[in-house]
Amino acid sequence: MKKTKFIAGLCLIGQSILFFILFLVYWNKSRSLSRSLAVFSAVGGIAGAYLVFDELRNQKISREMEEDFEDYDFIDDLEDLFDGDIDCTFGEE
């Protein structure tokens, strides 16, 4: 599911390019159809670009969080937690 947003964004950008080409083909022939294709091209391009850039930004943030997580030292925290000896006598005196 992680790459779905990126792939959907790329599909929308590709669709907007094809709609723009169709807009250029129908520009002189049918005004209403060409305007509709231009609107769909613009909306699809904007939505696709948003999805792609949002996914790239999320991947960058998650990479930075993973780097911060790798730098964290758990062993020191465990040594601080179990500082003394552990009593395992189970009630024996």
- Tens-place pLDDT, residues 31-69: 788 889 999 999 999 999 999 999 999 888 888 777 766
Q: Give CB contacts under 8 A, 24+ apart, made by 71-76.
A: none
Side chain identity at 17, as an amino acid letter?
I
**Per-residue model confidence as pLDDT tens digits over 3-17:** 788 899 999 999 999
Domains of the chain by residue range: 4-81
Q: What's the CA dihedral at 60, 13, 50, 36 to 10 degrees?
A: 180
User: What are the percentages of helix, strand and coil residues in the chain, rounded to 5?
Assistant: 75, 0, 25
pTM of the model: 0.65
Write down the pLDDT at residue 92: 61
3-class secondary-structure state, position 43: helix
- Position 32 scores a pLDDT of 80
Top-confidence residue, 11 or 82 = 11
Token digits of residue 63? 């990479």
